[in-house]
């Protein structure tokens, strides 16, 4: 009989000697502040889009015609059946025309008339008037 109470005593002592589980650290439920990136308002500058297609020696134009006001964003898309370099002279703006297309985007800041041409072919596609 003395063994039963001893066994119970051992179980009680073992249960009491184990450390209590510590609660997990508190977590914050506060939301992080929002961080806004980019401009607070959309770009309000006017955009002039010009599409130039040059195939089989013939050039066709679509989009903005006539003088473009200074400060306007100019987007030029060129589609062609040749590889070359599209150049806006004398602004010195150029891009490769490869795989049949090229894109140019810039702000018209200098008044005047500027030739848009294929550099290697020496072919003027059209002209751009800013003013």
Q: For residue 101, give the nearest of 117, 81, 119, 118 by alpha carbon.
A: 81
Q: What percent of the chain has pLDDT over 90?
A: 59
Across-strand partners of 93? Answer: 88
Chain segment 6-45, per-residue pLDDT in tens: 544 444 555 555 555 666 555 544 555 555 566 666 778 8
Chain segment 35-70, per-residue pLDDT in tens: 556 666 677 889 999 999 999 999 999 998 889 999
CA distance 113 to 92: 13
Across-strand partners of 87? Answer: 94, 117
Peptide bond into 90 cis (omega under 30): yes
Q: Quick check: 1 pLDDT over 60?
A: no
What's the pLDDT at 9?
A: 47
What's the pLDDT at 10?
A: 47
């Amino acid at each position: 009989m003395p063994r039963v109470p001893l066994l119970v005593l051992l179980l009680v002592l073992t249960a009491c000697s184990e450390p209590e589980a510590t609660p997990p650290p508190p977590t914050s439920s506060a939301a992080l502040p929002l961080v806004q990136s980019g401009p607070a308002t959309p770009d309000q500058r006017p955009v002039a889009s010009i599409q130039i297609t040059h195939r089989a020696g013939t050039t066709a134009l679509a989009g903005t015609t006539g003088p473009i006001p200074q400060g306007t964003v100019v987007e030029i898309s060129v589609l062609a059946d040749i590889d070359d370099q599209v150049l806006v002279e004398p602004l010195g703006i150029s891009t490769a025309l490869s795989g049949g297309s090229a894109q140019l985007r810039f702000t018209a800041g200098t008044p005047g008339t500027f030739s848009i041409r294929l550099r290697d072919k020496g072919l003027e596609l059209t002209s751009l008037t800013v003013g």
